[in-house]
Amino acid sequence: MYDINKVREDFPILSRKVYDRPLVYLDNAATTQKPLCVLDAMREEYLNVNANVHRGVHYLSQQATDLHEAAREKVRAFIGAAKTEEIVFTRGTTEAINLVASSFCEEMMKEGDEVIVTDMEHHSNIVPWQLQANRRGIVVRHLPFDEKGDLCLDQLEQMINERTKLVSMAHVSNVLGTVNDVKHVTTIAHKYGIPVLVDGAQSTPHFHVDVKELDCDFFAFSGHKMYGPTGIGVLYGKEEWLERLPPYQGGGEMIDKVSWEQTTFERLPFKFEAGTPDYVATHGLATAIDYISALGLDQIATHEQMLTHYCMEQMSTIDDMRLFGTSAHKDAVVSFLVGNIHHLDMGTLLDRLGIAVRTGHHCAQPLMTRLGISGTVRASFALYNTKEEIDILVNGIRRVSQMF
Ligand code: PMP
């Protein structure tokens, strides 16, 4: 049984008040709250273990290294990767995508070569490619989505040509909530020998991801969106790809031998991890993985699906409600506008009722342009949200609507 009250006790912040009202935290796609076990694990490491990792011969350094490398193994198992060599720690999804954009383009792409993204990408899967377009003259193409917010996958094959070198796509849209059919994309792309990068920022918190099943070549995600600390993320890459790509940043930890004449690089995954890693955050991330694994990702998914369906159902009873993203494959994100009420006004007034939602373009301006709007209000759910909180949201929206 999924005991929501017990789950909520693990997150003390959820019982605080804002403006003298109980906090209703529905901005989980931006970042999730952290359970006590994650905070405790990180405090304990700073208190009793802290030492720089990998090179130290002393006891504390070895203990910190063991925790850091155990976290890598935990992440490997969590996403079903074959080897820990394929798990690169980064600062987050953004850095992971920038790493691939920089190293992949350097090694694999020439002027005029093309990368295909989609119309529903977060800026972090658009701008790194545009930077490469400016620097190297690569071309960024984008696959459209339909009225419901489903990708027009039937157009993908027509977009592929001999200049296409990579497909890079969101697993789950942070605005529409659409869960994209990655397996379908990898099957098509691989027919032409084209690798696929998946932005998993919004999928890893919500359902079980298996990179071998998806058969993606790269997969990026962030710790802070799945109950772990900020500042830590992961790039998974198939070993054969990571071997082929040049390093992203240079510095300590990523080298084998350095001389004025020639420098050689460390083996995987260290080749891509220049500088002191955030070894306390990796331990925090591993603890978050333990936490969600103990609750069970399938149970979490069922709970959040229930919340998403309930929310969509309740929202559609509100006058002048416009819901963005009505795909049958939708997850934990509800984006909306009511009548002519500006998203910022709606968000600000909901905030006064204790309800934390996101407003604006959600770092997806091309998606907003495609929808012909400047932004939405977005409610996004986590494992600790309740039906009662959705009732408070829906009543809050009704109350705000009546003010206009
Ligand atoms: N991609 C998607 C789909 C996201 O929702 C986000 C975070 N809003 C990111 C990438 C960027 O994640 P981060 O800021 O943790 O690097």
Q: Kindly indicate whether the ipTM for this predicted assembly is greater than 0.95, answering yes or no.
A: yes
What pLDDT does 55 receive? Answer: 80
Class of domain 40-293: alpha beta
How far is the centre of ligand 1, averaged over its atoms, from the C-alpha of 334 (Å)? 17
Mutate to test the pocket of ligand 1, among 123, 206, 221, 225 (most ligand atoms within 8 A of CB): 225
Question: Which residue has its alpha carbon closest to ligand 1 atom 4?
Answer: 201
What is the pLDDT, as a whole number, of residue 1? 75
Under-50 pLDDT residues of the chain = none
Catalytic one among 105, 152, 311, 363?
363
How far does the centroid of ligand 1 lie from the alpha carbon of residue 99, in Å? 15
92 lines ligand 1 (CB under 6 A): yes
- Check if the beta carbon of residue 325 is closer than 8 Å to that of residue 176: yes
Does the beta carbon of 199 lie inside 6 Å of ligand 1? Answer: yes
Instruction: Give residue 224 CA to ligand 1 midpoint distance, Å.
Output: 10
Q: What fold is seen in the domain 4-28+296-403?
A: Aspartate Aminotransferase, domain 1 (3.90.1150)
Tell me the C-alpha distance between 137 and 192, whole Å.
22
Most ligand 1 atoms within 8 A of CB, residue of 222, 224, 367, 381 to mutate: 222
CA-based torsion, 52, 53, 54, 58: positive or negative: positive
| Closest to 65 in 3D by CA, of 344, 282, 210, 341 | 282
pLDDT tens digit sequence for 93-131: 999 999 999 999 999 999 999 999 999 999 999 999 999
Q: How far is the CA of 197 from the centre of ligand 1 (A)?
A: 14
Q: Which of 343, 279, 329, 305 is nearest to 145 (CA)?
A: 329
CA of 1 to the centre of ligand 1 (A): 31
**Ligand 1 close to Cβ of residue 98 (< 6 A):** no
* Residue 297 pLDDT: 97
User: Known catalytic residue: 363?
Assistant: yes
- What pLDDT was estimated at residue 304? 98
* Torsion on CA atoms 286, 289, 291, 296, rounded to nearest 10: -160
Ligand 1 pocket: which of 98, 174, 235, 367 to mutate (most atoms within 8 A of CB): 174
Is the beta carbon of 171 within 6 A of some atom in ligand 1?
A: no
**How far does residue 159's CA lie from ligand 1's centre (Å)?**
26
Each domain of the chain, given as residue ranges in start order, spans 4-28+296-403, 40-293
Measured by CA distance, the residue closest to atom 6 of ligand 1 is 201
Contact between 383 and 300 (Cβ < 8 Å): yes
> pLDDT, tens digit, for every residue of 360-372?
999 999 999 999 9
Q: Is ligand 1 within 6 A of the CB of residue 168?
A: no
